[in-house]
Structures are given as structure tokens and as C-alpha cells.
């Protein structure tokens, strides 16, 4: 079991490094290309008669939308705010973006005493990300909450929603709702996941990771 956990931990680190490269490429390289397109459009606009500039402004607006979506995608793939500021600001940024796109009010509460180990931070971020994706896809919720708690022994991340919920027998086997990936990520750090739900009563997912191993 220890060897399996080490293998999963190393695999997760490798995958996160690759995702980080892709996210930076989207943010930096694609951003530079779009900036060049904006400059080219500005040059063309100076040469066009006024009646054609309105169409060009529409193109500039669409480019701005693409730029925003690429930036958001880059941050969700590997949020730079996670590396720079830590888990709480990264979750706040995630909740704001996901909530805006889906029309769901998502709040983030709790605080941490200090920065966690990078592997712990990215694991809890990914689990919250997966849980919020489930809220958007399946829960038909109007509100959700992400709560962080830390003691001297462990840290937990709980995601609750007020959605439709599901019957307990759907939890048996635990292969749906991204649970396999969640359990594997947590298992690599000695952690665990607990889920409670009932029809009409929403769903609560709590991930816990020990801080002393």
C-alpha cells in the first residue's frame, strides 16, 4: 500500500507539472499572439473608412472574449494564484469563475494557519474543482459552499450544495462523480473522502488529509 501511494503521488506530481506547462503556454504564448492580433487590427482600422470600423470593433470584442476565456481556462488548469498566494485565494478565484459561468452562488469560508505543502494544496484544489463540477453538472443547485478547516493533525475541505441530492445506494461502490480519481489523489497522501447525500437534501463531500505522517 505504501508503494502504491508513492507511485500515485509521483504520477500526480508528473501530471501536475505537465498541466502547469500547458496552463502557462495558454496564458503567456496565446496571450502574446492575441496581443499581436489586437495591434494588427488597430493598424488596419486606421486605414479603413469609418463605415467599416464598426465591423472591426465587433472582431475586437470577440477577440477580447477569447482572451478572457483562455485566461480563465489557464487559471483553472493551474491557477497561478495557488502557487503565489495559497489555497484559500485559489479556491475563491475558482468559485467566482465557476459560479459566474453556471449561475450558482458559491461561497468560500475558513482559513489556514499557514501555507500547506504543495502536494496537499493542489490535491485539495483539484478535489474542490471536481466537486464543484459535479454540482454544476448534476446537482441542479442554486448555492454551494466550500469550507476549509485545519487542526494540528489534519486539514479538510468540504463542499456542500443545496441541490437534488441522490439516494445512498448510488454511493455503494463509489465509482461515479469522479470518486475514483478523488480517492486515488487522497490515498497518495494518506487522506480519505466522506460523502453524505439524500434525495432533495443536497450533497456534502468532505476530503481530509493528515498533516503529520
Q: What is the pLDDT of residue 142?
A: 96
Q: What is the pLDDT of residue 3?
A: 61
What is the pTM (predicted TM-score) of this model? 0.73
Q: What is the pLDDT of residue 194?
A: 94
- Chunked in runs of 10, what are the mean pLDDT values of the chain (213 residues)? 64 71 71 81 80 80 83 75 92 93 95 92 94 92 97 96 82 64 90 93 96 78
Q: What is the pLDDT of residue 66?
A: 84
Q: What is the pLDDT of residue 140?
A: 92
Q: How many other C-beta atoms can be found within 10 angstroms of the C-beta atom of residue 157?
A: 25
Residue labelled with grid coordinates 486605414: 47
Q: Tens digits of per-residue pLDDT, 169-187? A: 665 455 566 788 899 889 9
DSSP 8-class letter at 72:
H
Q: What is the pLDDT of residue 205?
A: 96
Half-sphere exposure (Cβ direction) of 95: Cα atoms closer than 13 Å = 20
Q: What is the pLDDT of residue 105?
A: 97
Burial class (CB in 10 A: 0-12, 13-18, 19+), 178: middle
Burial class (CB in 10 A: 0-12, 13-18, 19+), 10: exposed
**Assigned CATH topology for domain 80-210:** Heat Shock Protein 90 (3.30.565)
Q: What is the pLDDT of residue 164?
A: 94
Amino acid at each position: 500500500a505504501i508503494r502504491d501511494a508513492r507511485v500515485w503521488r509521483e504520477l500526480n506530481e508528473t501530471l501536475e507539472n505537465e498541466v502547469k506547462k500547458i496552463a502557462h503556454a495558454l496564458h503567456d504564448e496565446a496571450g502574446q499572439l492575441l496581443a499581436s492580433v489586437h495591434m494588427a487590427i488597430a493598424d488596419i482600422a486606421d486605414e479603413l473608412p469609418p463605415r467599416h470600423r464598426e465591423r472591426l470593433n465587433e472582431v475586437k470584442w470577440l477577440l477580447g472574449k477569447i482572451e478572457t476565456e483562455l485566461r480563465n481556462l489557464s487559471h483553472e488548469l493551474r491557477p497561478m494564484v495557488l502557487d503565489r498566494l495559497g489555497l484559500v485565494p485559489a479556491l475563491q478565484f475558482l468559485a467566482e469563475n465557476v459560479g459566474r459561468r453556471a449561475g450558482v452562488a458559491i461561497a468560500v469560508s475558513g482559513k489556514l494557519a499557514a501555507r500547506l505543502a504543495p502536494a496537499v494544496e493542489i490535491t485539495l484544489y483539484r478535489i474542490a474543482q471536481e466537486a464543484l463540477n459535479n454540482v454544476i453538472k448534476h446537482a441542479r443547485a442554486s448555492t454551494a459552499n466550500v469550507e476549509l478547516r485545519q487542526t494540528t493533525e489534519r486539514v479538510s475541505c468540504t463542499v456542500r450544495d443545496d441541490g437534488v441530492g441522490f439516494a445512498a445506494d448510488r454511493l455503494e461502490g463509489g465509482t461515479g462523480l469522479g470518486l475514483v480519481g478523488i480517492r486515488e489523489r487522497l490515498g497518495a497522501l494518506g487522506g480519505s473522502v466522506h460523502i453524505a447525500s439524500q434525495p432533495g437534501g443536497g450533497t456534502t463531500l468532505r476530503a481530509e488529509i493528515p498533516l503529520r505522517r
